[in-house]
Copies of this chain bind each other. A is one copy, B any other.
């Protein structure tokens, strides 16, 4: 039997609808953590359905860190100005800014990494593995594994969310999509760090 209290807690923690929460709890035999996972999986499904819809509203937001040492500019799109004006959306965009300031991604998703960057990275990783004396038959697997790490460090959506390393930024995004019921796209960002690349 699922208690009204558990449904309420799950709703507060996920923002999902009442019946969705109840069904997830039934499926999870009353385990709230497991029910959250189930809802997140459904959130992912909802996100996939919404991914084709045009998101051309949204916000351009900026964040300046350390009194002008690091600056981030980001555009996040949604489908309507109604959602763009919700506090939840605004907070999400701010979180994305802070994530970029703190974790310094180079790309939004792994699809954005240029092929020549991947090739160069692979070369370096291969040379590394060879230098470490790894046997030839496992080199490729090692390179693939380390390339995954490269994506996880450099692609915003694959990064660990700075406030909760259990989640990726993609998880956070999918939660927002499920919660706000619109396609949401982190479209582009710029990150400047004072003096980077200037020869001293």
The one of B55, B71, B84, B194 in contact with A68, judged by C-beta atoms closer than 8 angstroms, is B84
The one of B60, B69, B194 in contact with A192, judged by C-beta atoms closer than 8 angstroms, is B60
CB pair B60 A70 closer than 8 Å: yes
What 1/0 flags go to A157-200 for Cβ under 8 Å of B? 00000000000000000000000000000011010111100111
What 1/0 flags go to A61-76 for Cβ under 8 Å of B? 1111000111111110
Given contacts A60-B68, A62-B64, A200 and B75 within 8 Å (CB-CB): no
CB pair B73 A72 closer than 8 Å: yes
A153 sits at the interface (CB 8 A)? no
Give the chain B neighbours of A69 by CB distance below 8 A: 60
Copy total for this chain: 2
Interface size counted on chain A using CB atoms at 8 A: 31
CB pair A71 B64 closer than 8 Å: no
Given contacts A54-B200, A59-B68, A60-B64, A194 and B75 within 8 Å (CB-CB): yes
CB pair B58 A62 closer than 8 Å: no
Q: How far is the CB of A117 from chain B (nearest CB, A)?
A: 20
Q: With A and B bound together, what is the CA distance between A39 and B84 in angstroms?
A: 49
Q: How far is the CB of A93 from chain B (nearest CB, A)?
A: 8
Residues of A within 8 A of B (CB): 54-64, 68-75, 77, 84, 187-188, 190, 192-195, 198-200
For the A-B complex with A56-B195, A59-B194 known, give 18 more contacts whose Cβ atoms are closer than 8 Å: A56-B194, A56-B200, A57-B194, A58-B68, A60-B69, A61-B68, A61-B71, A62-B62, A62-B71, A71-B73, A71-B75, A73-B73, A73-B190, A75-B192, A75-B194, A77-B194, A77-B198, A190-B192
